[in-house]
Amino acid sequence: MAIVTAVLHRGVVDSDEPILCADDLGVLRGDGVFETINVREGRAFLLDAHLDRMANSARRMEFELPDKAELAGLAEQALAAWRERESGEGALRLIATRGREHGGPPTVYATIDPVPRERILPRRDGLKVVTASLGVNADARGEAPWLLGGVKALSYATQMAVTRWAKSQGADDALWVSADGYALEGPTSSLLWLDGDQLCTTPVSSGILPGTTSAHLMERASKIGLEAVERLVTVESLLEMDGAWLTSSVRGVAFITSIDGREVSQRPGVTAELDKLAGFEVPS
Ligand SMILES: Cc1ncc(COP(=O)(O)O)c(C=O)c1O
């Protein structure tokens, strides 16, 4: 059960209270958008960037979201209730579905949960990943907007399926690879790698979700003497790099220890610098 639930125009409600109708398109078709946001010291980290991405996702899915100020207000209602109850790291979800099947406004609500320790242990221990084919070339999603590249839609069944598959292979997570051999992103994370003094990530033109955490790190790369570069990388080249990471709002910065059982080396100290740039605490 979420610690806090808040509904647009209603405010904070009991988390046991039903808030969706049976014909909500979010449930029937995964037809909606969402954001998951890191909560630290009672505040939502990078809220503005998440609200911008959410607005873009809804625009791409052709439904109207309440404006940014209203969504920020909803987030703040949930955060105020959270601050009264909890002080640790949290995950704020903002959810907006297209609404009910026969019309009406979008269904919009927020929840906040504590972040379980196992979700942040990869900040300390890293991740073993296995590659999984996305089944399309790196340039396919740009030409086929209905594949919803770059959209954070509620339909995450494929992302959950590939994560389960990766775990069944003894790995911690998957790494999506395009049909033409490029490493793109994790099912719920962005890919970053270090090539000499270049901090690199996948271009948005490949249909990945533009990560708020990776963007924050790329924008600040020069502070740790690195140049930010967007480009494609093959899995083979990734294995030769000076470090590779999966980043996301809740997991933070997790270094990749191996890909398909082959070790990925890491220049000492860089993970700690990236954690510091984004203010992630590493569990002991
Ligand atoms: C497919 C995908 N890529 C990247 C990310 C990382 O995004 P952010 O850093 O904004 O959490 C996520 C987050 O859930 C994701 O689902």
Provide the pLDDT for residue 58: 98
The whole-number pLDDT of residue 53 equals 98
Is residue 206 lining ligand 1, measured as CB closer than 6 Å?
no
At 1 the pLDDT is 59
Q: Report how far ligand 1's centroid is from the alpha carbon of 188 (Å).
A: 5
pLDDT by 10-residue block (mean), the chain, 284 residues: 90 96 97 98 98 98 96 98 94 98 96 96 98 96 93 97 98 98 98 98 97 98 98 97 98 98 96 98 94
CATH numbers and ranges of domains, the chain: 4-115 (3.30.470.10), 120-278 (3.20.10.10)
Q: What is residue 2's predicted lDDT score, i.e. its pLDDT?
A: 72
Given ligand 1 and candidates 178, 189, 218, which is best to mutate, with the most ligand atoms within 8 Å of its CB?
A: 189
> Whose C-alpha lies nearest to ligand 1, atom 3?
189
Q: Nearest to residue 34, comparing CAs of 110, 113, 147? A: 110
Q: What is the largest CA-CA distance in the chain?
A: 56
Q: With a 6 A CB cut-off, is 38 part of the ligand 1 pocket?
A: no
The count of C-alpha atoms lying within 13 angstroms of the C-alpha of 213, restricted to the half-sphere facing its C-beta, is 27
* Ligand 1: centre distance to CA 191 (Å): 10
Ligand 1 contact, 188 CB (< 6 A): yes
